[in-house]
Structure 1
Amino acid sequence: MITPFRTDGGLDPDGAQRLAVHLVGEGCDGLVLSGTTGEAPTTTDAEKETLIRAVVEAVGDRARITAGVGTGDTRHSTELARTAERAGAHGLLVAAPAYSCPGREAVAHHLRTVAGATGLPVMLYDIPGRTGTGTALAADTLLRLAEHPRVAGVKDCAYDLMKTAKVLAATDLAYYAGCDEQALPLRAIGAVGCVSTVANAAPREVRAVLDAYDAGDPAGATRRYLRLVPLIETMMGTEHPGAVTAKALLNTLGLPAGPVRAPLLAAGPGITSALAKALKTAQR
């Protein structure tokens, strides 16, 4: 979920509540807060806590709330994890530390430490494109982390089908596609869902793909998936990050979003028009 801001750039807890209720009503059975699309690098710890409390209050037990707590500092991440637990989050999303490139064993130690800091289940975020190839979660690392009692799942943005299949075959980890273009392909080999940026603007359409597959209609799922491809490409396949494109669409739809925070820049009229056109195609 994006993080709504007011026009002055401040956090908009009321807007977050309205957006959360809308997304759950349109088919999202879980919401991930303070991820990359939620502009977590530019929100304060206090804002993250306020956001969790607001959304939990708004949706109650109608959706699972997962809080992003990944940072480049193990101590900071454990503090965020404990705060998220106190604020009412149901689970945590934790990525490998970026930039410092601590090495595989150190990354595993970081993730185990954060997982052990609370009683909440943890979803590991496997995204070497952002954390760096030096800290990529190798298959053997994931297999070892799966032994931790609170490591429950993986948000998979590794673009490594063999690794994903190997871990799925050897563990009970709940895999979620972390890249919208992989939602159906990964579901076909055993993933249980999708942590979707595109669902900010098209929740019902994203849900329909997975529902059709689960209902035993793979051909119908494929038709729905291919109808979404232009929107996925326009939202995720340009120079604009998903936070920018999702907010541009939500603003055109009159839903809570507001501006992005620097260093991100708002989408211009051209990309906003292309996004609106792609959304209409997806909703046909």
Structure 2
Amino acid sequence: MSQEAPVFGRLGVAIVTPFTEDLEKVDHEALAGLARHLVDEGHDLIVANGTTGESPTTSDEEKLAILATVREAVGADVTLLAGAGTNDTRHSVELARAIEEGGNADGLLLATPYYSKPTQRGLIAHTLEIVNAVDLPAMLYDIPGRSGIPIEYESAVELSQHPNIVALKEAKGDMHEASKLIRDTGLDIYSGEDALNLPWLAIGAVGTVSVTSHLTGRLDRLMFDALEQRDLALAQRLHASRIDFVDAIMNQGPGTMAIKEALTHLGVLPHAGCRAPLGTVEPEVAARIHAAVDAYQSVLAQHTS
């Protein structure tokens, strides 16, 4: 784990977007409360309008309003990144410019263009067109399981030369390639795989951007502290203590649905609904999530009491 302060912070969360019960509007009161809760749990980085935030089903107007609400809720001391990557380069540029003009985001999250599966040259051109259109730092997001294409090593090295591209969220699972990027570039690497946060940090990632840290933030912060104090045994125990909860959330279908159900069970959110095509979890799945949340609360108490 890097000892240098990363540009965007260390403990990041891909925040969900709460909706009203009829799913017609963003529930800004619930969103503000959630954002404050996440900061209280130890996060210094919030990523809004990513896939976890249901970016495919929110309008650009809603996305900008979400950023304004989160910024007002958390103040200036927490880094706020805004998802701006789409599979339409022109739309991504327009959205990035609107985000910059809104003045609420500290940077952009740029997922690779999904479904279209451009070549690596096309991917590079797409990314550069976005970052050249604004004066905001950017975190690339390598998640081929969703986008259909990876950011190959050579492409990441080339993109890292741009002054606005400062970080990479890695959800590809290739730690060998990431180790080379840590060695060969100045990119801050973030774990985008909740189950592997400790291994990622061990090879030199600077932080995490997580779904499950909506609930595990305090334990994750303790794990970060243990690593910085070179107490690997404690970090390993903390990592092990969250495995069952991570499995329960990330292996029950889309993580967005599961984490909303978990937050609703805890009373952090009033409703668990996601916009179509996601919907809500099935009753039997909800029961498993509730059991996992209750078990995790006992684990948390053991480490924080």
The alpha carbon displacement at 1:280 in A equals 3.3
TM-aligned CA deviation for residue 257 of structure 1: 5.8
What are the ranges of 5 or more consecutive residues in structure 1 without an aligned counterpart? none
1:247 maps onto 2:280 in alignment:
no
Unaligned runs of 5+ in 2: 1-14, 300-305
Shift of 1:27: 0.4
Given that residues 202 and 279 in structure 1 are in contact (C-alpha distance below 8 angstroms), is that contact kept between their aligned partners in structure 2? no
Equivalent residues in 2 for 1:27-46, closer than 5 Å: 27-46=42-61
- Preserved contact between residue 24 and residue 62 of structure 1 (Cα < 8 Å): no
Residue from 223, 231, 250 that aligns with 1:209: 223
Distance 2:224 2:125 in 1: 34
Amino acid across the alignment from 2:256: A
Report the counterpart of residue 12 of structure 2 in structure 1.
none
The answer for the alignment partner of 2:122 in structure 1 is 106
Which residue matches 2:26? 11
Q: Within 1, Cα distance between the matches of 2:71 and 2:86?
A: 23
Cα distance in structure 1, aligned partners of 2:58 and 2:222: 32
**Is the alpha carbon distance of 1:91 and 1:257 closer, same or farther for their aligned partners in structure 2, counting shifts above 3 Å?**
farther
Supply the distance in 1 between the matched residues of 2:270 and 2:138 (Cα, whole angstroms). 27
Mapped contact 2:216–2:242 kept (Cα < 8 A): no
Q: 2:177 aligns with which of 150, 159, 163?
A: 163
Identity of aligned residues (%): 39
> Which of the residues 143, 147, 152 maps onto 1:127?
143
Instruction: List aligned pairs for 1:261-272, cutoff 5 A.
Output: 261-272=275-286
Give the Cα–Cα distance (whole angstroms) in 2 for the partners of residues 202 and 266 of structure 1: 22
Question: Structure 1, residues 125-144: CA drift from partner, whole Å, max 9, x if none?
Answer: 00011111xx3110010000
Alignment of 1:197-236 (within 5 A): 197-236=211-250
> Offset at 1:84?
1.4
Q: CA shift at 1:154, angstroms?
A: 0.4
Cα distance, 1:204 vs structure 2: 1.2
Of 87, 99, 102, the residue aligned with 1:84 is 99
What residue in structure 1 maps to residue 5 of structure 2?
A: none
Contact 2:170–2:189 at 8 Å: present in 1 too? yes
Q: Report the Cα distance in structure 2 between the residues aligned to 1:189 and 1:110, rounded to whole angstroms.
A: 29
Alpha-carbon distance between aligned partners in 1 of 2:218 and 2:281, rounded to the nearest angstrom? 24
Question: What do residues 236-283 of structure 1 show as CA deviations (whole Å, max 9, x unaligned)?
Answer: 123x11110010001111112631111002112322222222233334
Distance change in 2, residues 1:202/1:172 (3 Å)? same
| C-alpha distance in structure 2 between counterparts of 1:103 and 1:117, whole Å | 21
Deviation at 1:207, TM superposition (A): 2.2
3-state SS of paired residue (2:245): helix
SS in 2 for 1:82: helix
Distance of aligned partners of 1:67 and 1:257 in 2 relative to their CA distance in 1, 3 Å threshold: farther
Selected match of 1:190 from 204, 215, 220: 204
Q: Aligned partners of 2:270 and 2:230: how far apart in 1?
A: 36
2:109 corresponds, among 81, 90, 93, to: 93
> Are residues 1:237 and 2:251 paired?
yes
1:81 maps to a residue whose letter is A
TM-score, normalised with respect to structure 2: 0.89
Give the alignment's TM-score, normalised by structure 1.
0.96
C-alpha distance in 2 between matches for 1:53 and 1:153:
23
| Alignment pair present for 1:61 and 2:55 | no
| Cα gap change, 1:222 to 1:282, in 2 (>3 Å) | farther
Task: Kindly report the root-mean-square deviation, in angstroms, between the aligned alpha carbons of the 2 structures.
Answer: 1.2
Q: Is the 8 A contact 1:146 1:171 kept in 2?
A: yes
Deviations 1:75-116 (A, max 9, x none): 101111111122210010001111111211000111111111
1:150 counterpart residue number: 164
